Structure 1
Amino acid sequence: MAAAPAQRGGGGLSLCLASAGVVKTLSIAAFTLAWTHSIEKTAWQEDWLVTPAGLTLQQARIKGTGAGMEPPPEARLTDGWFQWSPPPVPRAEVVLGNSGAADEWHLCEAGRCQTLSEIFGHPIGANVTTMSVCEDP
């Protein structure tokens, strides 16, 4: 999986992950969120920035097409991935669900990927995980 460029020192900001009453703080300024589509079993990746305005999606990639995952018209096929850059709209939070029909979400930073269960230190299962920007501890 491609990881977003390693960036540290995002002005005192971190990525906060909250799931089932537990909060994990990651001191990262950029990351890649990766998963497998539950029906099509196709890889999907998104590169995000942690900014003072919120989480900002920089680029998205799909390893194919299918039900519910059609790339937009501006997507270009590069190295087997449909890639595009959506408008950079900061989001206060991003909510990740899991139907149990697909593998876990993976968070990648500086070339290292971990599942959400690995980050939390226990199985996440079908619990919702919320990503948001928070202050460095």
Structure 2
Amino acid sequence: MTVSLCLLAGGVIVRLGVEAATLAWSHSVEKILWEEDWRATPAGLVLDQARVRGSGAGMEPPPDARLSNDVWSWRPTLAPLPQVVMRRSGATADWRICARGACRVVGDLVPRDADPVLLEACGDAHPPRSGRR
């Protein structure tokens, strides 16, 4: 079974057609860019790397993070997750999802007022785990 990434929001399922993508957003207080590289596997979503372009207001990089070109990066040690929940408050710019060298605003893919938006692994012949939509 081929596993890829899907977005679920507002009754819509969007199959992204990629196994890996970067979620990017700006911190609501610090206005600093945060990025996470997620990969779909049969066991769920795996976080391969995280990056942040600064620190403060609960954004401190972990002790094993490395600073290079003003960017802190590290490899989190999390078990695979069934989903990533993205909340949309309207207080910040919308999430961005980047794959194959291009980034898109999540609101261009799912209803702009949908909250939350879920990122999940889904198979070609099977719906995402939250497929009740």
Q: TM-score normalized by structure 1?
A: 0.86
Give 1:1-137 correspondences, 5 Å limit: 11-120=1-110, 122-123=111-112, 125=113, 127-137=115-125
Report the CA distance between 1:87 and its aligned residue.
1.0
Aligned length: 125
Report the CA distance between 1:126 and its aligned residue.
5.8
Cα distance between partner residues in 2 of 1:98 and 1:75: 27
Gaps of 5+ in 1: 1-10
Deviation readout 1:61-86 (Å, 9 max, x if unpaired): 00000101111111111111111001
Q: Structure 1 pair 30/102, CA: closer, same or farther in 2 (3 Å)?
A: same
Q: TM-score normalized by structure 2?
A: 0.88
Cα distance between partner residues in 2 of 1:88 and 1:30: 16
Cα distance between partner residues in 2 of 1:101 and 1:78: 30
Cα distance between partner residues in 2 of 1:91 and 1:64: 26
Q: Single out whichever of 55-64 and 88-97 deviates more from structure 2.
A: 88-97
Detail structure 1 runs of 4+ shifted over 3 Å in the superposition. none
Identity %: 45
Cα distance between partner residues in 2 of 1:99 and 1:80: 28
SS in 2 for 1:117: helix
Q: Single out whichever of 86-95 and 50-59 deviates more from structure 2.
A: 86-95
Deviation readout 1:32-89 (Å, 9 max, x if unpaired): 1100001110000001111111110000000000101111111111111111001142
SS in 2 for 1:130: strand
Report the CA distance between 1:95 and its aligned residue.
0.6
What is the CA RMSD across the aligned residues, in angstroms? 1.3
The amino acid that maps onto 2:120 is: S
Tell me, yes or no, if the aligned pair for 1:27 and 1:136 is still in contact at 8 Å: no
